[in-house]
Each structure stands twice: as C-alpha cells, then as structure tokens.
Chain A
Amino acid sequence: DSGVTQTPKHLITATGQRVTLRCSPRSGDLSVYWYQQSLDQGLQFLIQYYNGEERAKGNILERFSAQQFPDLHSELNLSSLELGDSALYFCASSVPVAGANYNEQFFGPGTRLTVL
C-alpha cells in the first residue's frame, strides 16, 4: 500500500459525459502527478500540481482539467468523454529522497474509466 488513495476504483459512463477522479496523496506530500494508461497512448504523464499550483503539463487534452485543493487532494476532471478516453488513470504523490536531489513518486492503485 503506497498510501496514495484514488476514488472511485472503477467508473463506467457514456460518451459526452463528464466525470471527476479523486486522488488523496500521502500525508505531507505536496506534489501530485496524474498519468493516463490507455491502449493507444500507453502510460503517459498528464499534469503535475505542487501545493495547489500547476507545475508541469504533459499530453493533457483541453477537455481534461485538474486542480489541487488546500488539503492537497487533487481532482482530475474529464469532460465530453469519448470512447478513446477509456483508460486507467493513476495518481502519484512525491516526497524528497534523503540525500538526493530527487523526489520519489508513489503511485495510487488507479481509477479504471470505461466510456461506453
């Protein structure tokens, strides 16, 4: 158990709909990353937040947005859903590694989104 929680575990919805995926980082971790694992695109980085602010952006569609709240949990909002958005969405939170100029990422169990 990484200590990162994601809800819901599974989500089934229809094309055109909007969903929200939630991530709670490990206690004290300020940074949250979102990744998408789809059949077409593989595992790819979407976006990172640090202490409420967007820090880095990857291949995130304009229909997708994210935010990080004052309690540090994060939400990934997916709108106008298409069949191709069906994927496993991972959240990770990170903490500095002692003695290294690096932050270790810990992955949550993922949310499996199915768009019908």
Chain B
Amino acid sequence: AQKVTQAQTEISVVEKEDVTLDCVYETRDTTYYLFWYKQPPSGELVFLIRRNSFDEQNEISGRYSWNFQKSTSSFNFTITASQVVDSAVYFCALSESNFGNEKLTFGTGTRLTIIP
C-alpha cells in the first residue's frame, strides 16, 4: 500500500528565511509519480510539481526547488527567501503508475506560516 508522510505539522519562519518541507513516501511500485500541492487559505488545491520515479534530477522553479532522493524515499520541497504569500498548507502526494487510475495518496500536509 502507498503511504506519504509529512512529519512536520506546522512550520513558522520569518519572511525571507529559507524553509524546507519534508516528504517521505512508501510504495512497492517501481514506477510512480510524486507531487506537491499548495492549499492557500481560500481552499483550492494548487498544483506545484509532478515528478516521475525515473527522474531524480532536482528541479528549481523561481524560489521553489525540489529534491528527490529515491535512496531515502524522500521528495523535499524548499522555498528560498520566503514571502508572506507562501503561507499555506502544502501537501505531498503519490500516485502509482496505473494508467487510467491515477488516484492520489496525500500526506497530512504541512501548514507553513510566514511571519512578516
């Protein structure tokens, strides 16, 4: 069975600090997809990134970066120079490669608060 663990329930940092959100996953599949979603106070789910299990390259998008390490089953997310607008709940999710049924298994989320 799939499982996603986000051990950090809440994190608070002062604006402009860097922050890393941890995600550890479990799956028996050799092919799978990992995701990060942002849920701002308004409630919608905002897609941030998808990474497949064969692509271990780290990715950077502006102030966001992701570190995927299969050896430790982790897919961590770092925000550099955090801003107040980054305050949200962030979810890590996993999907097995079951074409036509890509249901997502979510972690419990990390509530990030950026203090101005």
Residues of A participating in the B interface, judged by any CB pair closer than 8 Å: 31, 33, 35, 42-45, 48, 50, 55-56, 58, 88, 90, 94, 100-107, 109-110, 112
Contact = CB atoms under 8 A, between A and B. Distances in A.
A35 B103 CA distance: 9
Contact of B33 (A42, A48, A102): A102
Q: Taking chain B's interface residues, is the majority helix, strand, or loop, or is none over half, making it mixed?
A: loop
A33 B102 CA distance: 9
Interface residues of B, number: 20
A88 B52 contact: no
Contacts of B50: 104
B102 A55 contact: no
B43 A58 contact: no
B97 A102 contact: yes
B91 A43 contact: yes
B105 interface: yes
Nearest to B107: A42
A111 B108 CA distance: 20
Contacts of A105: 102, 104
B3 to A, nearest CB: 12
28 contacts: A43-B91, A43-B106, A44-B106, A45-B103, A48-B101, A48-B103, A50-B100, A55-B100, A55-B101, A56-B101, A58-B103, A88-B43, A100-B52, A101-B97, A101-B99, A102-B52, A102-B97, A102-B99, A102-B102, A103-B99, A103-B100, A103-B102, A104-B50, A105-B102, A109-B43, A110-B43, A110-B45, A112-B43
Contacts of B44: 107, 109-110
Nearest to B91: A43
